[in-house]
């Protein structure tokens, strides 16, 4: 089996081969589809080899596959097989583009997935990546097989994670919008702990890491027993290239998934025959933090999702939470990653505050089960720490909320910190056993949260020495936007009053 260290060295060598032609953050856009193509081709060869042993003839096996494509996972046309690709010495970009398009034609499920990259594309009359660089890249990728016995199914996810991590500083904001660090995804999977037959959805899917880690957690619990009632996975992603990555990830893991392209907030894809939202047992998500939606998104909503109130334009966090809540079955649960301000903004303010008032209703209705404060510098698009908010319609511990301050449970990494496996297990154990641990976790009543004006920040209740409670810049900006919005509303009300009095 290809180990992680070898994988990373291999990918770095591949990235170096196209250095100069392509901006570093975009290396993955060329390398990952080729890795996916190689995985499909190598598995295809493995399946033909298996049939050859059954029929004691490779010629017979190949003929059977040509006649019945259902004998293999995905049928790979002869000119698109990796052995052919490695022998191509001229017009490499054109040949690769034709290869992926022929695979998409033969396998409708892969249309818009494997064929998203034009390897022959030009900008201002110049090739984006030359045939020579493509040939060198293919030669590097040819060093290792990616068949069933050569790598774990998570090969693509690990490759994606490595390339994003390696170029995190260059990728900046765009990387963090659709990628959740692996250990955070693993922790969330352990928290939601999927059971047999459940349906899971991620409405802002990104590259699919959260549902894939839930799938792997389920496999760890129940193994490959065919009698086990499997999970069903759903996801929606707005960016086409990222949607394609999620589909690739899903295909490689052979998951039962339904992945849609589009905007979940404005046009949710999963609906019942009567036009109502489809409901799920579990919703996991890492939406873009403090996203800016217009008030029309909430005011003209056709699905009655925002009955708890409209969040301010500058921060859609509690809009996303309400969308997820509206998508929950009667006993469903949510685990969502948000910035720390989402659980504290507005608390302590005089007068009304939209986020605090929505948060208050979730607390008063006893829907908030836990809040986990993560360490800083885990995420690729910010150094801010982030939280995991757990909403549960079927809480075991009524009128209680578990607050976990995991801000110190990290190890230093370059360029990012990370949660080691022992910390993931510790946090999951505290959550599932509802444990109070000095300096890490406490349980609080709804009444205590109310006294703190519905501030759910774990750092407020779990003190740690040397903790810095300075307001993060992102939260300060959001508060400024809220204040500006409130000022405009007040000005408009004043204008109407003056108009009625004939003073304007």
Cα-to-chain-centroid distance, residue 216: 15
More confident residue, 371 or 491: 371
pLDDT > 90 fraction of the chain, expressed in percent and rounded: 66
| 147 in Cβ contact with 114 (< 8 Å) | no
Please give the average per-residue pLDDT across 495-502, as a whole number: 75
Residues 479, 483, 489, 492, CA torsion sign: negative
pTM of the model as a whole: 0.85
Q: What is the pLDDT of residues 265-306, one digit of tens each?
A: 999 999 999 999 999 999 999 999 888 899 999 999 999 999
| 254 in Cβ contact with 153 (< 8 Å) | yes
The closest of 418, 379, 14 to 206, measured between CA atoms, is 379
Q: Is residue 369 predicted with pLDDT exceeding 90?
A: yes
Q: Whole-angstrom distance between the N-terminal and C-terminal Cα of the chain?
A: 78
3-state secondary structure of 65: helix
pLDDT on residue 464? 65
CB contact set of 227 (below 8 Å; sequence gap of 6+)? none
Domains present along the chain, CATH in parentheses: 4-169 (1.20.1260.30), 173-466 (3.40.50.150)
Q: Is residue 471 predicted with pLDDT exceeding 60?
A: no
Whether omega for the bond prior to residue 415 falls within 30 degrees of 0, making it cis, is yes
Q: Is residue 104 predicted with pLDDT exceeding 90?
A: yes
3-state secondary structure of 402: strand
- For residue 474, what pLDDT band results from cuts at 50, 70 and 90? low
pLDDT on residue 160? 74
Helices and strands (H, E) in the chain, number of each type = 19, 11
Please state, in angstroms and rounded to a whole number, the distance separating the CA atoms of residues 220 and 148: 19
For the chain, give the mean pLDDT: 89
Please give the average per-residue pLDDT across 34-61, as a whole number: 94
Please state, in angstroms and rounded to a whole number, the distance separating the CA atoms of residues 287 and 179: 10
Q: Is residue 473 predicted with pLDDT exceeding 60?
A: no
| 200 in Cβ contact with 250 (< 8 Å) | no
Kindly report the length of the chain. 504
pLDDT on residue 172? 44
Which contiguous run of DSSP H or E holds residue 250?
helix 240-253
Please state, in angstroms and rounded to a whole number, the distance separating the CA atoms of residues 354 and 147: 53
Q: What is the pLDDT of residues 114-155, one digit of tens each?
A: 999 999 988 888 888 899 999 999 999 999 999 989 988 777
pLDDT on residue 5? 86
| 504 in Cβ contact with 495 (< 8 Å) | yes
Q: Lowest mean pLDDT: which of 130-144, 216-230, 262-276, 419-433?
A: 216-230
- CA 341-393-206 angle, 5° bins: 55
3-state secondary structure of 371: strand
């Amino acid at each position: 089996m290809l180990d992680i260290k070898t994988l990373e060295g291999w990918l770095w060598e591949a990235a170096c081969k196209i250095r100069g032609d392509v901006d570093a953050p975009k290396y993955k856009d060329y390398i990952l589809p080729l890795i996916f193509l190689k995985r499909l081709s190598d598995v295809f060869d493995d399946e033909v080899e298996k049939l050859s042993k059954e029929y004691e003839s490779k010629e017979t096996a190949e003929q059977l596959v040509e006649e019945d494509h259902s004998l293999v996972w995905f049928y790979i046309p002869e000119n698109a097989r990796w052995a052919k690709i490695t022998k191509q010495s001229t017009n490499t970009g054109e040949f690769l583009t034709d290869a992926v398009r022929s695979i998409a034609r033969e396998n409708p499920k892969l249309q818009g997935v494997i064929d998203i990259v034009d390897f022959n594309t030009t900008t201002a009359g110049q090739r984006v990546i030359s045939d020579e660089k493509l040939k060198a890249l293919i030669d590097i990728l040819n060093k290792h097989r990616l068949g069933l016995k050569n790598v774990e199914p998570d090969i693509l996810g690990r490759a994606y994670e490595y390339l994003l991590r390696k170029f995190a500083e260059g990728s900046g904001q765009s990387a963090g919008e659709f990628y959740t660090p692996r250990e955070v995804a693993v922790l969330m999977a352990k928290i939601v702990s999927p059971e047999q037959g459940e349906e899971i959805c991620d409405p802002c899917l990104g590259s699919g890491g959260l549902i894939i880690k839930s799938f792997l957690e389920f496999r760890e619990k129940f193994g490959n027993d065919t009698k086990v009632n499997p999970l069903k996975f759903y996801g929606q992603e707005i960016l086409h290239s990222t949607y394609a990555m999620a589909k690739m990830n899903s295909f490689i893991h052979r998951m039962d998934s339904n992945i849609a392209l589009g905007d979940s907030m404005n046009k949710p894809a999963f609906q019942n025959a009567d036009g109502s939202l489809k409901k799920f047992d579990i919703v996991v998500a890492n939406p873009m933090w403090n996203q800016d939606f217009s008030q029309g998104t909430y005011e003209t909503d056709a699905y009655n999702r925002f009955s708890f109130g409209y969040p301010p334009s500058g921060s859609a966090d509690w809009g996303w939470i309400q969308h997820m809540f509206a998508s929950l079955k009667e006993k469903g649960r949510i685990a969502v990653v948000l910035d720390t301000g989402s659980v504290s903004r507005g608390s302590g303010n005089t007068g009304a505050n939209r986020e605090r008032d929505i948060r208050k209703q979730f607390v008063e209705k006893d829907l908030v089960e836990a809040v986990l404060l993560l360490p800083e510098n885990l995420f690729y698009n910010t150094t801010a720490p982030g939280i995991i908010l757990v909403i549960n319609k079927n809480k075991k511990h009524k009128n209680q909320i578990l607050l976990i301050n995991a801000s110190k449970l990290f190890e230093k990494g370059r360029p990012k910190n990370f949660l080691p496996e022992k910390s993931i297990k510790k946090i999951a154990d505290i959550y599932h056993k509802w444990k109070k641990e000095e300096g890490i976790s406490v349980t609080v009543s709804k009444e205590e949260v109310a006294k703190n004006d519905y501030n759910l920040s774990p750092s407020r209740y779990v003190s740690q020495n040397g903790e810095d409670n300075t307001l993060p810049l992102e939260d300060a900006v959001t508060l400024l936007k809220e204040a500006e919005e409130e000022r405009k509303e007040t000005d408009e009300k004043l204008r109407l009053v003056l108009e009625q009095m004939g003073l304007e």
